Chain A
Amino acid sequence: MKFSLKQYAFLLSCLTIFIFLGFGWYTYNQIESAKIILADWKFKSTNEELSEAITKAAEQGTQAARKFAEWGESGQQILNSSFYSYWREQRMMSAGFLPTNTLAANLYNVQGESLSDVSELTLPFRIDPQKLPQHFIIHEKNNVAHAAFFAPVYSQGGKTTIGFVSISLPILPLISNYKFYHIDEKSIKIKAKSGHTPMTEIIHYIDYEKKKDISSVVVQTILDNASQGLLIASLIIAVLLYVLLGYGIKRPLQSLIDHIYLLRKNPDFLHSGRFLKELPIKELNEVSQALNAYQEELNNVYGSLDEKNKELLELANTDALTSMKNRRAFNEHWQQVCHIAENSRLDICMMLFDIDHFKAINDSYGHQMGDEVLVAISGLINSEFRKGELLYRLGGDEFGTVIINCNEKTGLEIAHRCNESVSSFNFSSLGIMEKVQISIGISCTQSGNKADLDNLSWQADSAVFQAKRPGEQSVMAYQPEMAASSRSLFSNWIYSAVFKAIETGDGIKIHYQPIVELSNNTINYYESLVRIQHKDEIIPPSHIFPIISARNLDMEMDQVIVKAILDDLEKQRIPAGTGVSINLSGPSVSSTDLINWLQPLRKYLKQYKLVFEVTETALISQMSKATDNLNKLKSMGFLIALDDFGSGYSSLRYLGSMPVDIVKFDISLIKDLENPKQHKLILSLCKMINEIGYEMVAEGIEHTETHQRVFHAGFDYGQGFLYGKPAENFKTNKPR
């Protein structure tokens, strides 16, 4: 489960609130516990305080009684009570020796008898001199509780007791006089209790209210405020955290992410865009710096790759021999030109160059010299071009160019210059004694029509073909009558259909002709033969391959054919237990990429017998590479058949040096079997090939007699109309 940064911020905020609330709850509980402890302590303190107040009150009362006893006049009255009544009424209370709130006071002689005959309600009339009351008398009078205090009166400096005193004081003022901290002294009330009650028990008859503890109220208020503050603070902190994480981190992070997405979506941005924002977070800033550094490194790598690509493209588009652009470059350039010229009124001129009798030069002076001629001529032609005009080597001895903004007149001028340049070149410096000439065909259009542009190619080709004709000028511009006169068989639509088939595969039809095992007359495998269907017409190989050959499209055609066969294999259209033989052109056999594009066939080797047929002609050029490729194919399990054996001049030479499994005798040799003189030679040849171990296929078998002959000659397989014509549908029944 993955969360966004905002969600994490929200979770963190919630966590913060939870922690704060938890802390607040814990603190609240602690405070409540403290309150209970405090209340308990207060209760005890209150009781202790009240007890102490009562004790102090008793001490004060006793002290007042002692002071009264120590007053000289008290002793004077006890010793001489003649005027006691007068003294008691006039003097005793006003002399200042008794507390002002004294309710009553009395003197007793040493026997404990009151000196007065007046009985006081709050004081005893007689006391026990041996045992002074140790308790206090609580008596109700006007709802006021009183306490009586007693003290002895001494003479001779305290040596002799001469009498006693008693005073009656209201107890409440005495108690209230105490400095209370916990009890509201104004609230103290003593419940009505008649009779005598010991002072020690008075606490049970006292009602009071506790003082409002302002400090605890203040503390409570502070704590309440603190709790509210804590809650608000936690909310604020949570919101701030959310905002900080959500915007302080998420926004710069999002900015970085957007930048990276932009880089991913738009690679061009890599070269120009740097993350320039200064981010508020150090680590993110480091990430952005690292990203910029990484981007810079990537830029360098891209730059290096671009250069390499350019170099590779240059190599791929350049002919290694002449350093001119090759056919691949020509095709790309032509597409660009078509793109530009379509729907415009630009003059487009295609120009094709062909070296006259170049094969003869090769044959006569060898390939090396032929190559030197190619280099020299390409240089001469190129030197006549204007800036921006390029010469392309289209294959073999054929060169071409496309010139924009060039009408037929200008094109002819350029062509003539080129022709003149070549004609005037001293080829003897290369060791060639014969005159070397070129034929140039041009075709121009201004229509901007796609069909017209498509036609330029074969029209220029026709012009070259025309220029090569004896008696014709070396430079020819295409004229409509050329199509009929020179290569009338190659109509416009055939060209278009062939090119389209190579380009897109459209119209490609593979016809399969059975190859029969002669020993049992069963179909062993089929030779695949290409046809191109255009509308309702089938273009035969005889029309296809001249165009292919002229345009050096052999390999491209082979690839299209292989692709079509792969489709048939995939759809299991080819009968099980048989096989397919595929013709490979010379350029394909010597191609460095051959193994790669034949690789998809490999998986059908278990089900089918797959044979590649190559001709002697194909083996002539690039012998070494061709041998290497065929060896690899053999090792992969494919079979190699040497086609048209005996049609050339060095068949045995190639047979000896090439990795061949099957030898397909040319039809001319099979026909020679009918000739008694040559019959023996063919038989000997068959015997020899048979002994070497090659399987042999006889082509062109149309009659049963021929069948008998080849069988007896030792051929393994036979191919011909006798067994079946090339057809789209497979013939599976046994031949006659």
Chain B
Amino acid sequence: MKDRLIIFLLLLCFSASLFSKELSIPLNNSLHGLAEYTEGDKDKPAVLILHGILQTRNFSTTQKIGDFLEESGYTTLRPTISLGVDSRKTSLACEAIHTHTMESDIEEIAQWVQWLKKKHQKIILLGHSAGASLLVAYLDKYKNTHITPEKIILVSLAYFGNRPSSNATSAEIDKARKAVAAGQLGPASFGFIYCNNYVSPPEAYLSYIEWSQQRVTEGLINISSPVSLLFGAGDKRIEQTWPAKLSEMGMDVHITDEANHFFHGSHEFDLLDFIENAVDS
């Protein structure tokens, strides 16, 4: 298996971009969203791959997953969530004014799923980190009215509220809530995930915070499609016991020993092995 992966990685450099094209679609908020679309075998399901918070589709983990799947003959769609920036191509700094909300993100995902569904009957949704939690939120919002993916693959699924090692402390959350209560809706600096100075209107900030471990777990439970989860045993961004709890709840949870949130180093192979198995199943 590893030999195949090595050959794949060598070929990746030469062929990956040959069949890819960048998409730009008007979003509902008068912005434009960008995505990379690679057409694969028609008999294989198309995979929508979603990046983590503030990142782009070119983030390394999702880039590797996408490349691997494209090489394996899967059609992939890798959108970049605009986060309020027209045709965003770069990651968004913590200090930028974050007017985007969980809902605006979900709507963009919905638009991309709709766009993909028009081309493919079978789709798989794959998310990494906050992208996985956005997929959970999207599926939670559109569980009855929307399409049903063939498979949901969540890697290093994360949540925003009550998250360990996050700057979104209770004090920060309270500050946001008080601001909202006081009608102070202008941008302010908050602690958020890894950002110390996350500038955002408090309402927009709180739209993410509401998606805590519990809220995500509830969303998972409500997903009708098969869900496969992969966690790294060394992922510090979630409560360590959470994957086990999910597993105990009967979910398809895979844990890679010592792997961190991004499956760096040799754990990349474990990640891709998991993806391969997950999309094939």
Instruction: Point out residues on A near B: beta carbons under 8 Å.
Output: 72-73, 75-77, 79-80, 82-83, 86-87, 90-91, 94-95, 155-157, 162
What is the CB-to-nearest-CB distance from B109 to chain A, in angstroms, rounded to a whole number? Answer: 20
Known: A82-B99, A83-B186, A86-B97. Contact between A156 and B24, CB under 8 A? yes
Residue among A72, A90, A156 with max Cβ neighbours from chain B (10 Å) = A72
The 8 A CB mask of B221-247 against A (1 = contact, 0 = none) is 000000000000000000000000000
For B199, give its contact among A75, A91, A155 (CB under 8 Å). Answer: A91
The answer to the question of B92 belonging to the interface, with a C-beta cut-off of 8 Å to chain A, is yes
Q: Is the CB of B187 within 8 A of A79?
A: no
Q: Is the CB of B88 within 8 A of A83?
A: no
28 residue pairs of the A-B complex, CB under 8 angstroms, read A72-B92, A73-B85, A73-B93, A73-B97, A75-B86, A76-B84, A76-B85, A76-B96, A79-B31, A83-B97, A83-B99, A83-B201, A87-B96, A87-B97, A87-B187, A90-B95, A90-B199, A91-B95, A91-B96, A91-B97, A91-B199, A94-B95, A95-B93, A95-B95, A155-B87, A156-B24, A157-B24, A162-B86
Q: List B180-234 residues whose CB lies under 8 Å from chain A.
A: 186-187, 199, 201
Q: List B66-104 residues whose CB lies under 8 Å from chain A.
A: 84-90, 92-93, 95-97, 99
In the complex, the chain B residue whose C-beta lies closest to that of A158 is: B87
Q: Is the CB of A155 within 8 A of B32?
A: yes
Q: Is the CB of B90 within 8 A of A72?
A: yes
The answer to the question of B266 belonging to the interface, with a C-beta cut-off of 8 Å to chain A, is no
- Assembled-state Cα–Cα distance A82/B97 (Å): 10
What is the CB-to-nearest-CB distance from B187 to chain A, in angstroms, rounded to a whole number? Answer: 5
Q: Is the CB of A72 within 8 A of B97?
A: no
For A157, give its contact among B87, B93, B97, B199 (CB under 8 Å). Answer: B87
Say whether chain B's binding surface is mostly helix, strand, loop, or mixed: loop
Closest 10 CB pairs of A and B: A72-B85, A76-B85, A75-B86, A83-B97, A155-B86, A83-B187, A73-B96, A87-B97, A156-B32, A86-B187
What is the CB-to-nearest-CB distance from A499 to chain B, in angstroms, rounded to a whole number? Answer: 148
- Assembled-state Cα–Cα distance A157/B93 (Å): 21
Q: What 10 additional pairs, Cβ within 8 angstroms, besides A86-B186, A156-B32, A157-B24? A: A72-B90, A73-B96, A79-B86, A80-B99, A83-B97, A83-B99, A90-B95, A91-B199, A156-B87, A162-B86
Known: A86-B186, A156-B32. Contact between A75 and B85, CB under 8 A? yes
Residues in A with CB closer than 8 Å to B30 are 79
- Assembled-state Cα–Cα distance A91/B97 (Å): 8
In the complex, the chain A residue whose C-beta lies closest to that of B96 is: A73
For B89, give its contact among A72, A77, A87 (CB under 8 Å). Answer: A72
| Number of chain B interface residues as a range | 20 to 34
In the complex, the chain A residue whose C-beta lies closest to that of B31 is: A79
Known: A90-B199, A91-B96, A91-B199. Contact between A80 and B84, CB under 8 A? yes
Residues in B with CB closer than 8 Å to A157 are 22, 24, 34, 87
What is the CB-to-nearest-CB distance from A632 to chain B, in angstroms, rounded to a whole number? Answer: 140
- Assembled-state Cα–Cα distance A83/B201 (Å): 9
Residues in A with CB closer than 8 Å to B90 are 72
Residues in B with CB closer than 8 Å to A91 are 95-97, 199
Residues in B with CB closer than 8 Å to A73 are 85, 92-93, 96-97
Residues in A with CB closer than 8 Å to B199 are 86, 90-91
Residue among A76, A77, A80 with max Cβ neighbours from chain B (10 Å) = A76
Residues in A with CB closer than 8 Å to B86 are 72, 75-76, 79, 155-156, 162
- Assembled-state Cα–Cα distance A80/B82 (Å): 13
Residue among A73, A77, A94 with max Cβ neighbours from chain B (10 Å) = A73
Q: List B248-273 residues whose CB lies under 8 Å from chain A.
A: none
What is the CB-to-nearest-CB distance from B209 to chain A, in angstroms, rounded to a whole number? Answer: 20
Residues in B with CB closer than 8 Å to A82 are 99
- Assembled-state Cα–Cα distance A369/B96 (Å): 171
- Assembled-state Cα–Cα distance A100/B250 (Å): 56
Residues in A with CB closer than 8 Å to B31 are 79
Residues in B with CB closer than 8 Å to A87 are 96-97, 187
What is the CB-to-nearest-CB distance from B74 to chain A, in angstroms, rounded to a whole number? Answer: 26
Residues in B with CB closer than 8 Å to A75 are 85-87
- Assembled-state Cα–Cα distance A94/B96 (Å): 10
Known: A86-B187, A156-B32. Contact between A72 and B99, CB under 8 A? no
Residues in B with CB closer than 8 Å to A162 are 86
- Assembled-state Cα–Cα distance A87/B96 (Å): 8
What is the CB-to-nearest-CB distance from A95 to chain B, in angstroms, rounded to a whole number? Answer: 7
What is the CB-to-nearest-CB distance from B33 to chain A, in angstroms, rounded to a whole number? Answer: 11
What is the CB-to-nearest-CB distance from A83 to chain B, in angstroms, rounded to a whole number? Answer: 5
Residue among B30, B34, B96, B97 with max Cβ neighbours from chain A (10 Å) = B97
Residues in A with CB closer than 8 Å to B201 are 83
In the complex, the chain B residue whose C-beta lies closest to that of A90 is: B199
Q: Is the CB of A72 within 8 A of B186?
A: no
- Assembled-state Cα–Cα distance A83/B199 (Å): 11
- Assembled-state Cα–Cα distance A168/B162 (Å): 45
What is the CB-to-nearest-CB distance from A635 to chain B, in angstroms, rounded to a whole number? Answer: 141
Residues in A with CB closer than 8 Å to B97 are 73, 76-77, 83, 86-87, 91
Residues in B with CB closer than 8 Å to A79 are 30-31, 86
What is the CB-to-nearest-CB distance from A161 to chain B, in angstroms, rounded to a whole number? Answer: 12
Q: Is the CB of B187 within 8 A of A72?
A: no
- Assembled-state Cα–Cα distance A156/B88 (Å): 10
- Assembled-state Cα–Cα distance A87/B87 (Å): 19
What is the CB-to-nearest-CB distance from A441 to chain B, in angstroms, rounded to a whole number? Answer: 156
- Assembled-state Cα–Cα distance A80/B201 (Å): 13
In the complex, the chain A residue whose C-beta lies closest to that of B88 is: A72
- Assembled-state Cα–Cα distance A293/B186 (Å): 128
In the complex, the chain B residue whose C-beta lies closest to that of A153 is: B86
In the complex, the chain A residue whose C-beta lies closest to that of B201 is: A83
Residues in B with CB closer than 8 Å to A76 are 84-86, 96-97
Residues in B with CB closer than 8 Å to A90 are 95, 199
Residue among A90, A95, A162 with max Cβ neighbours from chain B (10 Å) = A90
In the complex, the chain B residue whose C-beta lies closest to that of A78 is: B86
Residues in A with CB closer than 8 Å to B95 are 90-91, 94-95
- Assembled-state Cα–Cα distance A606/B186 (Å): 164
- Assembled-state Cα–Cα distance A90/B200 (Å): 12
- Assembled-state Cα–Cα distance A162/B86 (Å): 10
Residues in A with CB closer than 8 Å to B99 are 80, 82-83
What is the CB-to-nearest-CB distance from A78 to chain B, in angstroms, rounded to a whole number? Answer: 9
- Assembled-state Cα–Cα distance A91/B85 (Å): 15
- Assembled-state Cα–Cα distance A683/B187 (Å): 195
- Assembled-state Cα–Cα distance A435/B24 (Å): 181
The 8 A CB mask of B159-195 against A (1 = contact, 0 = none) is 0000000000000000000000000001100000000
Residues in B with CB closer than 8 Å to A80 are 84, 99
- Assembled-state Cα–Cα distance A76/B187 (Å): 14
- Assembled-state Cα–Cα distance A72/B100 (Å): 14
Residues in B with CB closer than 8 Å to A72 are 85-90, 92
In the complex, the chain A residue whose C-beta lies closest to that of B93 is: A95
What is the CB-to-nearest-CB distance from B246 to chain A, in angstroms, rounded to a whole number? Answer: 36
Residues in A with CB closer than 8 Å to B24 are 156-157
In the complex, the chain A residue whose C-beta lies closest to that of B200 is: A83
What is the CB-to-nearest-CB distance from B154 to chain A, in angstroms, rounded to a whole number? Answer: 28
- Assembled-state Cα–Cα distance A38/B34 (Å): 58
What is the CB-to-nearest-CB distance from B101 to chain A, in angstroms, rounded to a whole number? Answer: 13
- Assembled-state Cα–Cα distance A204/B178 (Å): 61
